Amino acid sequence: MTAMPHEPLTQEDVLLEGFLALETPEGFRAELIEGEIVVTPPPDGDHEDCIGLIVEQMIERSRTRMQYAPNKGLTLKDVPGAPRDRVIPDGTFAPRERRLFRGADSWMPCDGVSMVLEVTSTRAHRDRDTKRRCYARGGIPFYLLVDRDDSTVTLFAEPEDGDYRARQTVPFGKPLTLPDPFGFDLVTADFL
């Protein structure tokens, strides 16, 4: 990532190099979100239980066989004037037939990803706002957010101009319809 000898490093270049050189404590994860380095501690058990409940349903009920990667580093598309984001969703889903994760580096492009999943934890505002915009800028078709503070599940869809144009929210206990390529109603009763 070093600039050519005749090109000075930009502030973004320096930030990205510093980010990539980070050594985080075991279990922690570091992300570069909208020009800010964010280090997150390991999640609690309820957070992981919720993810497990969703993954089970995705694997068993999706119309399209899904491949799942927990905590997969994604490099989002460079958009002129926008930061070079490197995010780690709680879960990343892609059609199994694509074998998107096979041979992928620690940080892979988001092309081909069908949906990302976040379950709120200590910094819920990042999942609700900042990461939502990152995923939309990356062109990820669907973003599923489980908001434990609000006891809701939201599916964001139709990424355009740095955000999602459509959203569907249900309270815990109500099913959430996931469109193709998933094609089933996500059961949320166990989130209560």
Does residue 22 lie within any of the structural domains?
Answer: no
The lowest-confidence range among 4-13, 51-60, 147-156 is 4-13
Does residue 95 lie within any of the structural domains?
Answer: yes
Work out the percent of the chain whose per-residue pLDDT is above 90: 68
Does residue 116 lie within any of the structural domains?
Answer: yes
pLDDT of residue 22: 85
Q: Which amino acid is at 7?
A: E
Does residue 85 lie within any of the structural domains?
Answer: yes
Q: Which domain holds residue 72?
A: 43-191
**Nearest residue to 154 (alpha-carbon basis) of 181, 172, 131:** 172
Q: Domain total for the chain?
A: 1
Does residue 30 lie within any of the structural domains?
Answer: no
pLDDT tens digits for range 33-88: 888 888 888 888 999 999 999 999 999 999 999 999 998 999 986 666 656 789 99
Asked if 188 and 172 touch (Cβ cutoff 8 Å), the reply is: yes
For residue 58, the domain's CATH number is 3.90.1570.10
Q: CB under 8 Å to 80, separation ≥6 — which residues? A: none
The yes-or-no verdict on residue 174 having pLDDT over 90 is: yes
Does residue 175 lie within any of the structural domains?
Answer: yes
Mean pLDDT of 138-161: 97
pLDDT tens digits for range 111-132: 999 999 999 987 899 999 999 9
Does residue 6 lie within any of the structural domains?
Answer: no
Does residue 103 lie within any of the structural domains?
Answer: yes
Mean pLDDT of the chain: 90
Q: Which band of pLDDT confidence, cut at 50, 70 and 90, is reported for residue 31?
A: confident
